[in-house]
Structure 1
């Protein structure tokens, strides 16, 4: 997460949505009093002990809200990026098994394991995206949602809203694999659709 008092914005870094490249681009414009919490590639923590103890930078709007005050939280421009849940789930499976390489050997077996046998609901990368972006009443708190599928265009639009110059985004922490649709059969499609039903509805995605 990044909170910029200089440019009056809050950026929520939803896991597996290209957040590292966005962070790198935004850092060039941060002021001395701006805040960031991140762990991968570089480690920074918020000056709020309760949030700093989380140990990573994937903090939700609702979690940071009490520490900023209602006036700042309401008036700051709030944004994030989302990704097609079917694509994101494949990315999670490849990421979670990268050390042993089991996804490369048996992708559907890995996907079935996480969907039906031992769903890792505690893992932030597995959790639905909307949980990072909605309030207690379930309403979306973000003023603008960018899409991984049109990353550069989305970032350009966000920069225009913030009032900073855009730049070409790099690629960080990405993996090599085929098109996500190639990994699915109907059982897996139905399983992901059930698990991420709210994401599909709220962000307008389908298979």
Structure 2
């Protein structure tokens, strides 16, 4: 049901994505967000920034999806074990903070160098995701060239920067998140998430790893320096050691 007064907490169960369109909220949910936005920024109903969200009402969690960090694995696990995703794959959504105050908010991150190399291999080498012209796409087959191109972007801008390259620290509401797991310790950390949300914890390996990680290959000094500079905030926030 909808709030009955200006101070009523929005009903979390109202927020769902559309059947057949897992990226779009239902009309009722969109209307409620519009109503909350109209109430003004001073109301504090909505998160100041927008995030890519997956939400389960039955298991009471909010997952801040960070692209290139086991998103397919987590989603597959939920589907395989009967965890309903009421907000499935919403993109760039400001959400009502109070409505989800008692939901577990979690996210997963990975070493920024590994994540960048994985994004380059998947989105440039294997596909022309960024629609480079043929000559540019040929140049971008060198990871350092792609890093130079990426360094010219504002990686904190959402929307504005592709989700596969955006700062991980920008894709998570750091003021609200309860648990941040790491891809490097995925089985252990995801098992903890499953225990906390009441879902089966089955050891699994992250799917769709498209390339050896940056630290498992001979990354050039230039690539390491560019990634360390581009993702300085991620290294600081999540405690990864910057590439030397």
* TM-score band w.r.t. shorter chain: 0.7 to 0.9
**Which residue in the other structure is 1:123 paired with?**
162
Instruction: Give CA deviations for 1:30-63 in whole Å, capped at 9, x if unaligned.
Output: 24xx51333xxxxxxxxxxxxxxxxxx454xxx3
**Which residue in the other structure is 1:90 paired with?**
117
**Which residue in the other structure is 1:30 paired with?**
83
Query: What RMSD, in angstroms, separates the aligned Cα atoms of the two structures?
Result: 2.6
Using the TM superposition, give the Cα deviation of residue 195 of structure 1 relative to its aligned residue in structure 2, in angstroms. Answer: 1.2
Q: Map of 1:51-62 to 2, 5 A cutoff?
A: 57-59=90-92
Higher helix share: 1
CA distance in 1, matches of 2:65, 2:56: 14
Q: CA distance change for structure 1 residues 9 and 184 in 2, over 3 Å: closer, same or farther? A: same
CA distance in 2, matches of 1:178, 1:92: 10
CA distance in 2, matches of 1:191, 1:19: 25
CA distance in 2, matches of 1:8, 1:20: 20
Higher strand share: 2
Contact between 1:83 and 1:148, CA under 8 Å: does it hold in 2? yes
So what's the TM-score if we normalise by structure 2?
A: 0.63
Contact between 1:82 and 1:146, CA under 8 Å: does it hold in 2? yes
Q: CA distance change for structure 1 residues 103 and 149 in 2, over 3 Å: closer, same or farther? A: farther
Q: Map of 1:166-181 to 2, 5 A cutoff?
A: 166-177=201-212, 179-180=214-215
Instruction: Give the alignment partner of residue 78 of structure 1, picking from 101, 105, 109.
Output: 105
Contact between 1:108 and 1:184, CA under 8 Å: does it hold in 2? no
CA distance in 1, matches of 2:149, 2:94: 33
So what's the TM-score if we normalise by structure 1?
A: 0.73
Using the TM superposition, give the Cα deviation of residue 105 of structure 1 relative to its aligned residue in structure 2, in angstroms. Answer: 5.4
Q: CA distance change for structure 1 residues 171 and 202 in 2, over 3 Å: closer, same or farther? A: closer
**Which residue in the other structure is 1:5 paired with?**
57
Contact between 1:84 and 1:205, CA under 8 Å: does it hold in 2? yes
Instruction: Give CA deviations for 1:7-49 in whole Å, capped at 9, x if unaligned.
Output: 1111121100011111111232324xx51333xxxxxxxxxxx
2:162 counterpart of 1:110: no
4+ residue runs over 4 A deviation:
100-105
Q: Choose 1 or 2 for highest CA Rg.
A: 2
Q: Which has the higher contact order (CA 8 A, sep 6+)?
A: 1
2:194 counterpart of 1:164: no
Contact between 2:68 and 2:115, CA under 8 Å: does it hold in 1? yes
Q: How many residues align?
A: 175
Residue segments in structure 1 that go unaligned for 5+ positions in a row: 39-56
Using the TM superposition, give the Cα deviation of residue 167 of structure 1 relative to its aligned residue in structure 2, in angstroms. Answer: 1.2
